[in-house]
Each structure stands twice: as structure tokens, then as C-alpha cells.
Chains A and B, each alone.
Chain A
């Protein structure tokens, strides 16, 4: 089992007259292929922690390493490259670009990376959307799609460049129960297939179906609990390695 994300003493403060500490001294290790849920009351800093893990924000102190690579000394541009290739983000709102079709939204990160031919990009985009049950909706604009469909397009976009890590910030927060279940099972499936998935959620029933839950209070880790089956499996593997 290799490490996907590791943090040491991760702290994020907002300076100013009323200085606040969003994330305080978090040490966390996420294994590759693990499905992690970050929970906690609102304002506990769970989203802030996710943004730090996903290199959207820079810590005041401490270090985030992705796949063993320390990131604190990277330039903005290098971080952008890492986000482009290794991290896929899904937010509470789908944040699709309204002027572009579902397919073009999915193609955007690929075109930004510009590693495949345009035909290959198109094929990959269509197969991603089809695998998420949107094969017939590829040319529709976001306003023509339901909330659940948009969120699935957003997941397809997050997967566009085949990242090792998928991050979700309340990815089911705006959805009805059916769509929510669909989206969650897609994420579950991604983790089962070896991708590292981190989500922030306040839905404890969903969180309970992930591999591990980190509960944050006032920016500090209050409790880490393992989903029983996975815990046994992890412990077993760890033991086997020894």
C-alpha cells in the first residue's frame, strides 16, 4: 500500500485584525485507493482542509505531499500542472461552464493539458460520459440537464486527465436522494478501482460507507474512525507486509 496524500503539521490561518485558524496542525495520511470522508460541524475547517490537500490553497505552516512529492516549494504554475494531471475536483455546485456542452466541459481539462489528439480526447470524453450514464446527453448544455446529470458531468470532467486523486467538496450536497445515491456509488466505484477519493460531507450515513472518516472540530482532527471491514482488510495487509 503506497501513500497518496500525506500531511505534516498542516496549518492554515487567515491573517488580519480578526485572525482565524481554519486548519490547525493536521497530520493525516491517505493511502492510495482509499475512500476518505472528512466530516465535522459547519465551520470546522473540513473544506479548507480539502482545498489544502488539493493544492487549491497554500498552508501557512506544514507540508502536503502527493505521492511522496512535497508541494510547499512548488510554484503556482507547477501546482496548476499537478492539479491538472493528478487531482480531479468535484464541488457542491457542479460549476460547469454554462456556454459549453457537456462534452466540451469534459474536454476542457484535456485540452488544457493537450497531450492527446483531438480525436482521442473526444473518444475519451464520450466514453467517460457514457460510463456515467450520460451517453445521450453529450451535446446538451448544462441548463438542459438535471442537477444530478450536471454533477455526473462534473465528475467526468474531474476524471478527464485520469487523475490519481478525486476530491469532492460536498459532492452530493445539492442533490436529491436518488441522484445523491448515484453520485456516491460512482465515487465508491472509483475508489474500488484504485483511485484515491477524498470527500467532505456532513451526511454521516454516506460518510459511514467510506473507508475511513476524519472528524474535524475547530480545524483539529478530533477522531479518525475506520469503516470496520476495510479496517480489518487494511490491518491484515499491514500485517502481511510485515
Chain B
């Protein structure tokens, strides 16, 4: 199959097939095709390819497609709804930041108040270097709240805990302890008899009733006594 030398006419053959030529152009192409075997052959080829494509194409269910389409104005609604969603998100973010900030400030205030001498339930941090023993908190702090010194012995260190649980039998047990123990809350000044009595008192702690425990107040004092090395006292 040869090509016609008139490229301009050949270019318009598909347009002739689809009737997309103006009246004047269509007439000119038809005149040429009538006298050109190559263009007639090419036009026949175009018709064959077009027919083959049409036959190969499955029928489309347009109603199904239409039912799947978005509703009119959906894109506009989507765009208009964006700012309100953004405002709502911004509001939630702001509220979260506020709550976190208030929480942080509360913790900071509580920590500061504990640093100013008031007992607070704070876990002891890293142990500083041993220092000379210092007397416990003033008697005014523990006089009204009987303390029960309890002793636990860890590896190479002795820890004294002072629990202030006035409404529990623990407190009444502390009332029976020697005065100097309750006032000072340290073991370094106790003789053997006092220590034994203290241990007996501790054993009586088994009788503590099952109740919701009161907040435990710990005073961490990392100072050591002259006779002990590396001991930690918690008052």
C-alpha cells in the first residue's frame, strides 16, 4: 500500500471519516479521493481500524457510572468545610497545650514547695557525696505528727524511713517508741536495747489494717553519721 504524495489531504482523511471538516475542506478532500487510489485505500484502512475498535469496545453501563459520581457541589462543600474542621482542630490543639502547661506549672509549684522544707513524696534521686550528719527536721514539723522510724538495710547502706500516718495504728505504735528516736528519727544515737525495741515495734507493723494508705511523706537526707560510711538517712 503506497502513500499519496499529497500530505495535506492525507492528514485530513481521519477528519473526513469523522465528518469534522468544514464544507469547503470536505468538498476538496472528496474531489481528491475520487481521483486518488492511494487515498481511497487509506480511507478504507481507516474505516477498518475504526470498525475494529468499535467492535472491540464493550458496552458501557452509563447509569452505573452516573450513580457512582459525586453529588453536584460536593467539591465546593468539601472546600467550605475545611476551615471549620481546621478551626476545630486548632481549638483542640490549643486546649491540649493549655492543659499540659497547667499540669507542668502545678508540678513545678509542688516541687518548689517541697524544696522549701515541706515534706513531699518524692523519690530520692542520685545519691550525692556523703556529708556530715545533720539533725532531722525541726521538732515542730514532726512533733504533731508522730513518726515511726523504720529501718531497712540494703547493700552497704542503712536507710531510715519516717512515716507520718497519724490515723493508723502505725502512729500509735510510734507513740510507744523512745522519745529520742521519734524526735531525731536516726539510728546512730540508739543503743542496742533501743534498737531491739525498735525492731520489735517494726514487727508489730504486721498488724497494720488493710486500709487505703495515707500519702507517705518522705524526707530524703543524704547525710551520713560519723560512724557510718555511705549510709543514707531518709527522714
Q: Does A pair with B?
A: no
* A residues with CB within 8 A of B: none
* B residues with CB within 8 A of A: none
